[in-house]
């Protein structure tokens, strides 16, 4: 993707989500993870997931299905039961409202401050909830012991364990993109089931793992591996694609390919460009050091890129490229605190 296309995509996203001159139909996702499908049918393939609190634009309608554009931007279908449609004014009020972000993999919203009470909604990492304030002279967040009162996107109020959430704006402003933070966040998802189109802590595909990891470190990346590979600082990688998986030269080849990698780098796999076909990126992982990666393949797991290791990744020979986002700035990575999709600017 060239620079002109990238800038055009950003302009489209800003116009769509700032509310400027808005006559568009907008909504907020109301489920912990809203299933976004290719077509308006439950049997249709899952394209991605939108986390609770995400603002989307409605561009189509078929029965109880709505075609929406997510902030990435990503176009897909979901049911109206997972959306709360709002006017432009309500969207701006929603953006301006102080919120909590769920920072644990799984939590919930309960009718009363007790795990034994009725659960109003489940929560997953990255979900957003409006803060409920006390009434009276001293207005402050409503809390009871170890619980915080919250408001779901549909306006229902409930209680969430205070240890599972943090004030969103304050949290977003403090996040630092470091190798240690990226690796530590990604490792929290080890063992999570693989889900094609999964972008939540309940199920992840390879690029969903990368995007959620970076989001929980305060930065937004494109959704797919084929888009992520176009951003960041390119890491020089010498590849001899003539070496086959069963070659006795593969050990030295993989040492050569990984010698410039650092923890936190993204590593991309696929098929190289040939005279007959273009390069195709099919998989992405996060380098964690010592020749090892964490990635979503069958499940979120840790594997070695170096042959002979017990946990050797069977497709290591398909490693093509690497990108480094630490200490890098560019249109393909937006600090969440600066995103018009989440904050009113």
Give 174-228 pLDDT, tens digit per residue. 999 999 999 999 999 999 999 999 999 999 999 999 999 999 999 999 999 999 9
Query: Domain boundary residue among 71, 91, 111?
Result: 91
Residue 106 and residue 83 in one domain: no
Are 39 and 167 part of one and the same domain? no
Q: What are phi and psi of 96, to 5 degrees?
A: -75, -20
Average the pLDDT over 48-53 and give the result: 97
- Please determine, for residue 250, whether its predicted confidence score (pLDDT) is greater than 60: yes
* 127 and 184 together in one domain: no
Q: Is residue 339 part of a domain?
A: no
Q: Is residue 299 part of a domain?
A: yes
**Residue 137 confidence (pLDDT):** 65
Q: What is the CATH number of the domain that holds 78?
A: 2.30.30.40
Residue 265, phi-psi category: left (phi > 0), alpha (psi -120 to 50), beta (remainder)? beta
State the residue range of the domain holding 62: 3-91
Please state, for a pLDDT cut of 90, what percent of the chain lies above it.
85
Is 42 in the same domain as 73? yes
Looking at the fold, whether 218 and 280 belong to one and the same domain comes out as yes
Residue 241 pLDDT grade (very low, low, confident, very high; cuts 50, 70, 90): confident
In the predicted model, is pLDDT for residue 304 greater than 60? yes
Q: What are phi and psi of 59, to 5 degrees?
A: -120, -5
> Which pTM value belongs to this model?
0.91
Mean pLDDT over residues 73-95, rounded?
95
Among 173, 191, 225, give the residue marking a domain's end: 173
* CATH code at position 183: 3.90.1720.10
Distances (CA, A) of 103 to 107, 172, 218: 9, 11, 12
* 3 — pLDDT class (breaks 50, 70, 90): very low
Number of structural domains the chain divides into:
3
In a domain? residue 141: yes
Residues 187 and 292 in one domain: yes
CB contact set of 298 (below 8 Å; sequence gap of 6+): 194
Confidence bin at 345 (pLDDT 50/70/90): low
Quick check: is 342 in a domain?
no
Residue 142 within a domain: yes
**Same domain membership, residue 163 and residue 267:** no
Q: Strands 299-304 and 292-297: what pairing?
A: antiparallel
SS3 annotation, the chain: CCHHHHHHHHHHHHHHHHCCCCCCEEEEECCCEEEEECCCCCCCCEEEEEECCCEEEEEEEECCEEEEECCCCCEEEEEHHHEEEECHHHHHHHHHCCEEEECCCEEEEECCCCCCCCEEEEEECCCEEEECECCCCCCCECEECCEEEEECCCCCEEEEEHHHEEEHHHHHHHCCCCHHHHHHHHHCCCCCEECCCCEECCEECHHHHHHHHHHCCCEECCCCHHHHCCCCEECCCCCCCCCCCCCCCHHHHHHHHHCCCCCCCEEEEEECCCCCCCCEEEEEEEEEECCEEEEEECEEEEEECCCCCCCECCCHHHEEEEEECCCCCECCEEEHHHCCCCCCC
What is the reported pLDDT for 8? 47
Task: Give phi and psi for 155, each to the nearest 5.
Answer: 95, -10
125 and 237 inside one domain = no
Both 36 and 117 in one domain: the answer is no
The model's pLDDT over 255-294, given as tens digits with 9 standing for 90+, comes to 999 999 999 999 999 998 888 999 999 999 999 999 999 9
CB-based contact 237:331 (threshold 8 Å): no
Which of the four pLDDT bands, split at 50, 70 and 90, describes residue 16? Answer: very low
What is the rounded average pLDDT for all residues in the chain?
92
> Which are the contacts of 169, defined by CB distance < 8 A and separation ≥ 6?
98, 99, 337, 343
pLDDT (0 to 100) of residue 170: 96
Same-domain status, 147 and 270? no
Active site (catalytic) residues: 206, 283, 295
Lowest model confidence (mean pLDDT) among 40-54, 76-90, 125-139: 125-139
Asked if residue 5 has pLDDT above 80, the reply is no
Are 238 and 294 in the same domain? yes
Has residue 163 got a pLDDT over 80? yes
Does 336 reside within a domain?
no
pLDDT tens across 104-156, in order? Answer: 999 999 999 999 999 999 999 999 999 999 987 668 999 999 999 999 999 99
pLDDT at 20 exceeding the cut of 50? no
Whole-angstrom distance, CA of residue 283 vs CA of residue 199: 15
If phi > 0 it is left, if psi is from -120 to 50 it is alpha, else beta; for residue 191 that is: left
Task: Give the end of a domain, one of 91, 125, 153.
Answer: 91
Please indicate, yes or no, whether residues 186 and 167 belong to a single structural domain of this protein: no
Q: Is there a domain that residue 329 lies in?
A: no
Q: Residue 19 has what pLDDT?
A: 44
In a domain, 333, yes or no: no
Percent of the chain with pLDDT over 70: 92
Arithmetic mean of pLDDT, 65-89: 95
């Amino acid at each position: 993707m060239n620079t002109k296309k990238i800038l055009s995509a950003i302009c489209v996203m800003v116009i769509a989500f700032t509310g400027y001159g808005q006559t568009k139909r907008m909504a907020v996702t109301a489920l912990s993870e809203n299933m976004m499908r290719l077509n308006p049918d439950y049997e249709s393939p899952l394209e991605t997931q939108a986390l609770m609190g995400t603002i989307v634009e409605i561009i189509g309608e078929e029965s109880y299905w709505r075609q929406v554009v997510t902030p990435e931007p990503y176009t897909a279908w979901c049911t109206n039961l997972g959306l709360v449609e709002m006017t432009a004014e309500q969207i701006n009020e929603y953006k301006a409202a102080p919120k909590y972000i769920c920072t644990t993999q799984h939590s919930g919203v309960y009718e009363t401050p007790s795990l034994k009470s009725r659960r109003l909604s489940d929560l997953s990492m990255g979900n957003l909830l409006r803060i409920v304030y006390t009434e009276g002279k001293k207005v402050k967040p409503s809390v009871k012991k170890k619980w915080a009162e919250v408001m779901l996107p549909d306006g229902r109020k409930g209680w969430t364990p205070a240890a599972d959430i943090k004030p969103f704006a304050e949290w977003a402003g403090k996040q630092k993109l470091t190798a240690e933070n990226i690796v530590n966040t990604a490792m929290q998802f080890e063992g999570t089931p693989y889900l094609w189109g999964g972008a939540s802590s309940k199920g992840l595909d390879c690029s969903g793992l990368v995007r959620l990891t970076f989001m929980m470190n305060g930065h937004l990346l494109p959704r797919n591996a084929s888009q992520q590979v176009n951003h960041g600082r390119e890491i020089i990688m010498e590849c001899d694609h003539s070496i086959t998986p069963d070659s006795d030269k593969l050990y030295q080849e993989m040492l050569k390919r990984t010698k410039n990698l650092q923890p936190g780098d993204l590593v991309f796999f696929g098929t190289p460009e040939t005279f007959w076909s273009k390069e195709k990126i099919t998989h992405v992982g996060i380098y964690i050091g010592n020749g090892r990666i964490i990635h979503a393949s069958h499940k979120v797991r840790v594997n070695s890129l170096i042959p002979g290791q017990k946990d050797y990744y069977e497709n290591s020979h398909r490693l093509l490229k690497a990108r480094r986002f630490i200490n890098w700035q560019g249109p393909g990575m937006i600090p969440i605190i600066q995103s018009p999709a989440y904050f009113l600017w």
